[in-house]
Structure 1
Amino acid sequence: SKNDRIVFGHWSTLGTGQYGNVFSLDSGAVWGEKLTAVRIDIEPYQWFSIDADPAGLPHAKNKTTIYP
């Protein structure tokens, strides 16, 4: 339906952005870039991003695992 929203990640080459009702969230955190979220329950939509922690990356030499 034209009012449905599609939110996805796992495609960092596309980058982040809004394309109509489609939201691309992958900003390359796995590569040491940013981790991104969007709040779509309010308008205007709010985008948030933080720097990725290099120690937590899958390819890091000194990998840190954080448990809840």
Structure 2
Amino acid sequence: NDIKKYKSDRKISLWVMLVCIIGGLLLYFVFSFRGWGYLWLFATVVWTSIILVKCSYRITRIKGKIKNLNAEK
């Protein structure tokens, strides 16, 4: 049950990451014509790194739970 949840969480986090990266790039291209490109690029990098850190933290926590479950068996 936990493993299924872990896999779906990973899928969701990957999709969120993709959407953020693509959205950030689109914003970058739209705003780069007006000189706002670097701001958006910076914002996108910060945003994706925050999401990555959150996801990796969650994944390691879930991995720890799975290890504990296996140890109990």
What range describes the TM-score normalised by the shorter chain of this pair?
Answer: under 0.3
Max Rg structure: 2
Question: Between Structure 1 and Structure 2, which shows a larger proportion of helix residues?
Answer: 2
TM-score (norm 1): 0.23
TM-score (norm 2): 0.22
